[in-house]
Structures are given as C-alpha cells and as structure tokens.
Amino acid sequence: MDGVGEVVLALEVLGVLLLVPAGYAWLGARARRRGIGGSVMAPFEEIWDPRAHTTHIEVQVQAERAAPAATPGDRPAPDPQGA
C-alpha cells in the first residue's frame, strides 16, 4: 500500500469514528426538539440500557391506558377552561 492510500484509509476511519457518534447526537437532539424522542431513540436505548427500554415501554402503556369510565352516580367533571 502506498503512502497516499494509507492516509486516505486513516482519514476514512477517523471520519467514521467521529461522524457516527455525532450523527447519533444530532438525531437525539432533533428527536427531543420535535417531541418524538421516545420512539426514535428507543432502539438505541434498548442496545445500551435495556432497563431504560423497559421503562419506556411502561410509560407507553400508561399513556395509552384509557381513563376509567364514569359511574352513573358521578358528578360531571369541571370544565378545565372555565366555560
């Protein structure tokens, strides 16, 4: 391998080692700004911290759980906007 080829290879390896983590950081920041961080970053979270992924699943289950139905004797809930 000539000197130029070794330099090119070294630059490619260095570029990958710098750009991949920078890409993950950018993706995480973008997902947090848009409020979709949980669904976008969940696969990476599962790889590096499986316990956090389990917590993420529990949060999703709690968010999707329906509110309990009112019983016939319950009073109507107050209007949150004060109308």
Tell me if 48 is assigned to some domain.
yes
The verdict on residue 68 lying in a domain is no
State residue 29's pLDDT score.
83
Q: 40-47 long-range CB contacts below 8 Å, 24 or more apart? A: none
**Into how many domains does the chain fold?**
1
* pLDDT for 3: 83
42 within a domain of the structure (yes/no): yes
H or E segment and range at residue 57: helix 50-64
Domain residues for the domain of 54 are 25-62
Domain membership flag for residue 40: yes
The span from the CA of 13 to the CA of 7, in Å, is 10
Write down the pLDDT at residue 78. Answer: 75
pLDDT score, position 54: 78
Give the helix/strand (H/E) hosting 19.
helix 3-34
Task: Say how far apart CA 80 and CA 67 lie, in whole Å.
Answer: 16
pLDDT at 15 (0 to 100): 93
Q: What pLDDT is attached to residue 24?
A: 84
Mean pLDDT by runs of 10 across the 83 residues of the chain is 86 93 85 72 75 77 78 76 61
Residue 45 lies in a domain: yes
